[in-house]
């Protein structure tokens, strides 16, 4: 039987070729470019040693983008867990309109994030929809995207709302996997709703929590589309993430070597958090038998 399947090994060769050409080779070429002062199009460039990497540690724009990347990643993740779990609990048991609500909450996931960002401009611009509400309640018009801190918060909020549907359905799937007999047994023992939630729902949702946090965090750390649409990284460099900074360093500043070095940094950050999440979450699952 095994010799039969050994012949089948050819079937993964096309996939491996793609991975080597479009992931492994670029990975090493990224590291090579990061050691040069190449501008992205000229035939001439010099190896400059660790210059680009040293610059990473002294560049204020990198510091801002690095902090923003963490804010986008963790900010979105935290709010998506709170809202996603709340929505899942709200829409778990049947009531009229439940299916429609689930469908609508998940709907923005289908929209390209860059188009979603542009659509939000109609809400956050000076004469936009949000300021109409603010003035209705007697407030002064807010410049949502001119203040760096506020703009970062707006981006986090938009990203959270657009993709909260993913967390919601992951938690819904988790809730449906909890057998009803646990709740029945607990209520016979005299446990109330809150105790049931604390002692049964929360621990048994742990796998869903792990999945949802991982998906949201990795997605948030790579955030690109919404930032490009809403602020383009501005005002100044204050709302850039590392992903958008790579693009602007390469195409706007024509500094391919530096862009490649930022790419290495982003790779290290995402790898670090991927491994960290696996270590933190490992072996904490509960099982009731």
Partner 1 sequence: MKKKWLWKVPLSLFICFVQLVPIYITLTVSLKPQTDMSSTWTLPEQPYWNNFATAIEAGGLLRAFLNTIVITAVASFLVIILGAMAAYPLARNPSRLNRGVKTFILSIMMVPASSLLVPLYVLLVKLHAVSTYWGIIAVHVTFNLPLAIFMYSNFIMTIPQELDEAALIDGCSVYSIFRRIILPLIKPITVSVLILTSVTVWNDYQYSLYFLQKPAMKVLTLSIAAFFGQSGADPHVAAAAALMAILPMMIVYLCLQKYFMKGMVEGAIK
Residue 206 CA to residue 142 CA, distance in Å, equals 40
From its phi and psi, is residue 40 left (phi > 0), alpha (psi between -120 and 50) or beta? left
Q: How far is the CB of 100 from partner 1 (least distance, A)?
A: 7
Q: How far is the CB of 185 from partner 1 (least distance, A)?
A: 21
Q: How far is the CB of 163 from partner 1 (least distance, A)?
A: 11
Cβ proximity to partner 1: between 2 and 44 the closer is 2
Cα dist from 145 to 76, 91, 126, 227, whole Å: 18, 34, 9, 11
Residue 76 CA to residue 220 CA, distance in Å, equals 6
H helices present in the chain, as ranges: 2-8, 13-19, 25-34, 51-58, 60-70, 76-90, 98-106, 113-124, 129-136, 148-176, 180-188, 193-196, 202-204, 206-221, 225-230, 242-247, 256-281
Site for partner 1 in 247-266 (CB under 8 A): 247, 250, 256, 259-260, 263-264, 266
x/- contact string, 14-53, with partner 1 (CB under 8 A)?
A: xxx-xx-xxxxxxx-xx--x--------------------
Residue 37 CA to residue 35 CA, distance in Å, equals 7
x/- contact string, 99-138, with partner 1 (CB under 8 A)?
A: -xxxxxxxxxxxxxxxxx-xxxxxx----xx--x------
Cβ proximity to partner 1: between 108 and 234 the closer is 108
Q: How far is the CB of 23 from partner 1 (least distance, A)?
A: 5
Cβ proximity to partner 1: between 132 and 184 the closer is 132
When binding is defined by CB under 8 A, the residue of 78, 186, 196, 270 that contacts partner 1 is 270
x/- contact string, 158-187, with partner 1 (CB under 8 A)?
A: ---x----x--xx--x--------------
């Amino acid at each position: 039987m095994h010799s039969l399947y050994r012949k089948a090994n050819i079937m993964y060769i096309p996939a491996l070729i793609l991975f080597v050409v479009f992931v492994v080779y670029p990975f090493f070429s990224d590291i090579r470019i990061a050691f040069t002062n190449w501008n992205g199009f000229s035939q001439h460039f010099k190896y400059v040693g660790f210059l680009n990497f040293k610059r990473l540690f002294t560049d204020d724009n990198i510091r801002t983008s690095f902090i923003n990347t963490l804010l986008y990643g963790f900010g979105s993740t935290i709010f998506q867990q709170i809202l996603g779990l709340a929505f899942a609990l709200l829409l778990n048991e049947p009531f009229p309109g439940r299916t429609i609500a689930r469908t609508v909450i998940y709907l923005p996931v289908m929209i390209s994030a860059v188009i979603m960002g542009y659509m939000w401009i109609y809400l956050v611009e000076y004469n936009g929809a949000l300021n109409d509400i603010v003035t209705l309640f007697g407030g002064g018009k807010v410049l949502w995207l001119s203040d760096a801190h506020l703009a970062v918060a707006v981006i986090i909020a938009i990203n959270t709302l657009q993709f909260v549907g993913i967390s919601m359905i992951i938690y819904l799937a988790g809730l449906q996997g909890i057998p009803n007999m646990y709740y029945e047994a607990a209520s016979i023992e005299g446990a109330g709703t809150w105790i049931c939630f604390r002692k049964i729902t929360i621990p048994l949702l742990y796998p869903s929590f792990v999945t949802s946090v991982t998906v949201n965090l990795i997605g948030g750390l790579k955030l690109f589309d919404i930032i490009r649409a809403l602020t383009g990284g501005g005002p100044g460099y204050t709302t850039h993430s590392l992903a958008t900074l790579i693009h602007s360093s390469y195409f706007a500043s024509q500094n391919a070597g530096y862009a490649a070095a930022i790419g290495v940094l982003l790779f290290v950050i995402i790898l670090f958090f991927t491994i960290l999440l696996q270590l933190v979450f490992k072996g904490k699952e509960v099982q009731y038998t």
